[in-house]
Amino acid sequence: MVDVKPRQSWGSKLGIILAVAGSAVGLGNFLRFPVQAAQNGGGAFMLPYFISLLLLGIPLMWIEWAVGRYGGLFGHGTAPGMFHSLWKNRFIKYFGVIGIFGPLVILIYYTYIESWLLGYAFFSLTGHLSQAVGVESKGAFLSGYQGLVQNQFFQNLWPAYIFFVITFLANFWIISRGIKGGIEILCKIAMPILFIFGAIVAVRVLTLGVPDLTHPDWNIVNGLGYLWNPDFSVLTSAKVWLAAAGQIFFTLSVGIGVILTYASYLTKGDDVVLSGLTAAATNETAEVVLGGSIAIPAAFAFLGPVAITAVAQSGAFNLGFVTMPLIFDKIPLGMIFSFLWFVLLFLAGITSSVSLAEPAVAFMEDEFNLDRKKAVWILGIAVFLLIQPVIFLLGHGVVDELDFWGGTFCLVLFATIETILFTWVFGIDRAWEEIHHGAEMKLPKIYKFIIKYVTPLILIVILASWIWQQGLSVILMQGVTPANLPYILGTRIALVGLFLAIAILVKIAWRKRKAKQE
């Protein structure tokens, strides 16, 4: 631990909790969660969801906070260096590459979608969005905005591009201001606003009563029931369990490396047990209480049980950008509620996207001694270029491909590696001690067993069953629309290129460090 140059740190305990909660609370809570729940049996989804939270999500939170803080003491803010501090093996650092690569992959599509929210908040206020009347028209508004078609709403991609540039610059400006002066301040401001706006929209939805008197059973109570009435028959479906575990990873931002990086700015005596738990609880409140009370119940009350199933099947974008605006058109002061909804989503998005950029910046600062401004410029230019294909090739399945590798596959893979590394290679006794260092509360003993056996076992089962059931067909691109094949292939080649580029940088950094030591 000698010769570690001073690193940045958080300004306060509340600051890091809000920053981790800010990373966790995102589009996943308000759009992905309701859609996943509705697609997987509504109430039935919630049982595997809470079990995954207790056995995977929360243990991973503690593991990542502890590993991150430990690595930070050795001057490492990202997984390659952290893994190397846990195990002096020459290859382990390359597994850590996922902890920089994964967040970057998500960042590339997430930032663009985040910018749509800003655009939609703007067009809610100007009244343009409500000029699109009816489902077809709202759908046309969205595809026009995305530049997929030219229509009466949009002749070209420029409006979307301008909102993208504003969103992009806002993100990188905040990141360039650093941990305490940028990310922490953003989260301290954005998180309370987000919760207040979320509560206002949720209360409005919950007091809708029976909006359509010709259908008295289309009401909010039944809408909530759609999400909460258990249907135990789907519990035996592997698909539901995978979806629930996947949602827990995505929503908590675990298994990808960003919490490692945030925790690396802690100091040795800082608590991780209670803080990690508080951040997770904040995310779950936003997800289950707010996320669960807005989109699905509202859609149920206005569209009824048949249409809502179709909405859920058609995905998160449709729910957020088509169905919700349609509903806002039907309530008094709908424009204002629409604006609040999109601002709330934008704030949820930006506090997540800054966290996705931080590992790459930290990597350049820590392993290449770059100053932060320079690191942010390099990353900014690289990410700006990488986002262009996402913007211009949107209709060709590129986002889904990035989301699959970055937002699903890498999470489970990386979580498996870090859990086994920490609890088996570093050793459960040392890991337990590390988690409890400076802790304000002691974990129940059962969690020692869970973290050592249950969490890794479930992770391995998920990974193995995925490889067994779908691995080959995904690799061979079976099921991809033929017209999209070249784009999907191109995306994969780019992803492999990006991974290799980071791996080479890791190799160079280690070689330089070795040369310095000799």
Which stretches of the chain bind ligand PFF, using CB under 6 A?
23-24, 26-29, 103, 106, 250-251, 253, 256, 258, 352, 355-356
Q: Would you say 69 or 452 has its CB closer to ligand PFF?
A: 69
Q: Would you say 154 or 341 has its CB closer to ligand PFF?
A: 341
Q: Would you say 140 or 248 has its CB closer to ligand PFF?
A: 248
Least distance (Å) between residue 294 CB and ligand PFF: 15
Residue whose tokens read 């690799």 = 475
Q: Would you say 20 or 140 has its CB closer to ligand PFF?
A: 20
Q: Would you say 110 or 218 has its CB closer to ligand PFF?
A: 110
Q: Would you say 62 or 154 has its CB closer to ligand PFF?
A: 62
Least distance (Å) between residue 118 CB and ligand PFF: 16
Least distance (Å) between residue 208 CB and ligand PFF: 26
Q: Are 403 and 109 in contact (CB under 8 A)?
A: yes
Least distance (Å) between residue 86 CB and ligand PFF: 20
Query: Angle, nearest 10°, between helix axes 58-73 and 238-252?
Result: 40
Q: Would you say 23 or 323 has its CB closer to ligand PFF?
A: 23
Q: Would you say 219 or 352 has its CB closer to ligand PFF?
A: 352
How far, in Å, CA of 3 to CA of 264, rounded? 17
Least distance (Å) between residue 381 CB and ligand PFF: 22
Query: Angle, nearest 10°, between helix axes 79-86 and 98-126?
Result: 140
Tokens of 308: 């809502």
Q: Would you say 443 or 502 has its CB closer to ligand PFF?
A: 502
Q: Are 276 and 23 in contact (CB under 8 A)?
A: no
How far, in Å, CA of 352 to CA of 123, rounded? 23
Kindly give, in sequence order, each residue whose CB lies less than 8 Å from that of residue 427, ignoring residues fewer than 6 positions away: none
User: Both ends of the chain: CA-CA distance in Å?
Assistant: 17
How far, in Å, CA of 4 to CA of 365, rounded? 13
Least distance (Å) between residue 499 CB and ligand PFF: 17
DSSP 395-431: GGTHHHHHHHIIIIIHHHHHHHHHHHIIIIITTHHHH
How far, in Å, CA of 143 to CA of 150, rounded? 8
Least distance (Å) between residue 126 CB and ligand PFF: 27
Least distance (Å) between residue 21 CB and ligand PFF: 10
Q: How many CB atoms are closer than 10 A to CB 505?
A: 17
Residue whose tokens read 């989109």 = 295
Kindly give, in sequence order, each residue whose CB lies less than 8 Å from that of residue 8, ignoring residues fewer than 6 positions away: 178, 179, 180, 265
Q: Would you say 26 or 41 has its CB closer to ligand PFF?
A: 26
Least distance (Å) between residue 64 CB and ligand PFF: 10
Q: Would you say 250 or 426 has its CB closer to ligand PFF?
A: 250
Phi and psi torsions of 439, nearest 5°: -70, 145
CB-count exposure of residue 67 (10 Å: 0-12, 13-18, 19+): buried
Q: Are 368 and 509 in contact (CB under 8 A)?
A: yes
Query: Which has the closest alpha carbon to 349: 286, 279, 394?
Result: 286
Least distance (Å) between residue 511 CB and ligand PFF: 29
CA 409 from centre of chain: 13
Least distance (Å) between residue 131 CB and ligand PFF: 30
3-state DSSP assignment of residue 254: coil
